[in-house]
Amino acid sequence: MSISEQVDALQARVAELKSSADQARRETNEQVKARISQAKADIAARQSAGKEKAEQAADRTQSQWKSMQADAAAKMQAVQDRIGRQRDQHDVKRAEREAEYAEADAADALDYADWVVAQAQLAVLDAIDARSWADARAAASP
């Protein structure tokens, strides 16, 4: 899958998250719980289907968001520096290798972003469920 296709897929997942959250706000508590179960099952399926890819990505990425941001900024600067040197040196093979590394880093970051969106979807649904439960308890109390 190309980087552009990964970005498109991630954008679709975020749109799906918004739509799901909007719809869940209009559903009964049982429907929201069913939606949570489905989201958990979808996450489990994606995790098992992409376990090997996730392990590879985990080897190349750091677990903390701030570290990932700093690492990405440093890599981008290094890539820009290397590209500048490569243009001066006209080293096509080296430039191709660096482009492949940069593309692999971008693909890993997009995989991580997809995982974060899935976790956000579950968190949003859990929050809607908790709010619904709290509102029901408040309405039932004298």
SS (H, E, C) 69-129: HHHHHHHHHHHHHHHHHHHHHCCHHHHHHHHHHHHHHHHHHHHHHHHHHHHHHHHHHHHHH
Q: pTM to 2 decimals?
A: 0.52
Distances (CA, A) of 41 to 15, 17, 91, 119, 122: 19, 15, 48, 12, 11
The residues, any chain, with a CB within 8 Å of residue 11's CB and separated by 6 or more, are none
- Give residues with Cβ within 8 angstroms of 62, minimum separation 6: 68, 71
> Residue 49 pLDDT > 80, yes or no?
no
72-111 pLDDT, tens digit each = 677 777 777 776 665 666 667 777 888 888 888 888 888 8
pLDDT at 26 over 80: yes
Q: For 54-83, write each residue's pLDDT tens digit.
A: 566 556 554 555 565 676 677 777 777 776
**Mean per-residue pLDDT of the chain:** 80
Using pLDDT thresholds of 50, 70 and 90, give the confidence band for residue 50: low
Split at pLDDT 50, 70, 90, the class of 29 is: confident
Q: What is the pLDDT of residue 62?
A: 45
Domain range summary for the chain, segments of one domain joined by +: 3-140
Please report the pLDDT score of residue 136 as a whole number. 92
Q: What percent of the chain has pLDDT over 90?
A: 11
